[in-house]
Amino acid sequence: MSTRIPVLNQVHITGTVVDDPKVYEPEPGFKIVTFVGETLEERGQKKKVQELRWRAKAFGAKAEELNRQLQKGMWIFIRGRLSPYKKPGQKEQKLTEIDINEYWIFPPPKISAKVTVDETEGEKPTPELGA
């Protein structure tokens, strides 16, 4: 008798909205909104920053709310699930997006540049969150 591990398709992600949302109305009265977000992640011993881009979508009333509230540059926290999709005109390429269950929108943070000295790379401005 084999034991199956339960599968939980759940995503929690925070990031910055890259572009204004796009609204589609596949049938009258039913809207879909999609947008691209970006999350920055530090990797490795040298803390190299990597951009992770993702696509999210919402349906119905959530789509209408997001279309009214969300703008490029805002921060968003999403709870949702991963869902496969295909780009129009591409048969073989399968991509993954986040179907939004819940979300919270935050205004963009105030960022000021602070100069730090890295002995291996010289001076460079480092973003610092302001109050």
Residue reference for tokens 């909205």:
17
pTM higher than the cut 0.95: no
The tens place of each residue's pLDDT in the chain, 131 residues long, gives: 567 777 789 999 999 999 999 999 988 989 999 999 999 887 777 777 888 899 999 999 999 999 999 999 999 999 999 998 877 776 767 788 999 999 999 877 666 555 455 555 554 444 444 44
| Token couple for 94 | 């399968």
Distance CA 53, CA 13 (A): 11
All domains of the chain, ordered by start, with CATH?
11-129 (2.40.50.140)
| Token couple for 109 | 């943070």
Residue reference for tokens 């709310």:
65
